[in-house]
Amino acid sequence: MLKVYLVQMDSAKGSKSENIARAKSLILDARPTEGSIILLPEMFATGYIPTNLDSAAEDFNTNETGETARTLSEIADATSCTIMGAGITRAPNGFYNHVSIYAPHTQKERCGYDKINLFFPERDTFTPGNRINLFTLQNWKIASFICYDLRFPEIFREATKQGANLITIQAAWPTKRRSHWETLLKARAIENQVYIAAVNAVSTRSDTQAPLAGKSLIISPNGDVLAEGTSNEEMIISAELDLLAERNYRKSFPVLDGIVPPDLI
């Protein structure tokens, strides 16, 4: 069993230290179970596409190279959990929209992912990533994607072919397309027979110009919602995932037969 926690939070643009402190407080107050995995929304420390990208960008390689990386490492140590943050790193010709994963009591980033499919406002200044990265936790193989990636089923299928049995999405998805968010997440779970853990940011401030949808979701391989966030408040939701149940479901309803190697089903 693997317990997953989704930190649905509101991130103020231009308030990195405030956002980081808020995330840390929410997580530590929740007292997550040791050995769990914790997800934070897309660009949680800066808000989605901060005004000054150059000052917002950080190096996530080690826990000594950036404020956000240091905090992720501190949270991982304090909780004995693996934490998946998200931020902005520098690319040769711009910036990457980045996922950074820190394990407890390690100084270096456990794994990272750069967003492959850039949303329209990102395309002038961000560089697309070029690879799907999986990492292992206990007996799980986990692939991570970011927000707009959700609209591209081919990368989810490729992650499944590579052995993923849990796929995470970290997002800043808008309220006006909430129905797309919920429908596509369920589709990605059903068509790949994987667990989906999708954390979304939320807008709790009345002056937000483009409110974010919240509705963080944890979904089973057959499309059942295991845990669900609201659309208008900060919260942490969680669920326990059963790897054996997923394997048994894949065997009993073998839609991946001939697509995924038998030893991965």
- 115 counts as catalytic: yes
Strand locations in 213-256 (E): 217-219, 225-228, 235-241
Given a contact cutoff of 8 angstroms between Cβ atoms, the answer to whether 144 and 122 are in contact is no
Q: What is the CATH number of the domain that holds 208?
A: 3.60.110.10
* Predicted pLDDT of residue 31: 97
**Domain that residue 185 falls in:** 2-264
List pLDDT tens digits, range 200-231: 999 987 556 689 999 999 999 999 999 999 99
- 13 counts as catalytic: no
- Say how far apart CA 215 and CA 233 lie, in whole Å: 9
Given a contact cutoff of 8 angstroms between Cβ atoms, the answer to whether 118 and 148 are in contact is yes
Give how many domains the chain has, as a whole number.
Answer: 1
List pLDDT tens digits, range 58-88: 999 999 989 999 999 999 999 999 999 999 9
Annotated active-site residue in 42, 58, 109, 182: 42
User: Could you tell me the mean pLDDT of each successive run of 10 residues in the chain, 265 residues long?
Assistant: 97 88 97 98 95 94 94 98 97 96 97 98 96 96 98 98 97 97 98 98 76 96 98 96 97 92 78
Given a contact cutoff of 8 angstroms between Cβ atoms, the answer to whether 237 and 228 are in contact is yes
Given a contact cutoff of 8 angstroms between Cβ atoms, the answer to whether 260 and 245 are in contact is no
* Predicted pLDDT of residue 14: 74
Annotated active-site residue in 16, 111, 115, 182: 115
Q: How many C-alpha atoms does 248 have within 13 Å on its Cβ side?
A: 4
Tell me which residue of 265, 132, 97 sits closest to 194, measured CA to CA.
265
Annotated active-site residue in 58, 122, 147, 215: 147
* Predicted pLDDT of residue 201: 97
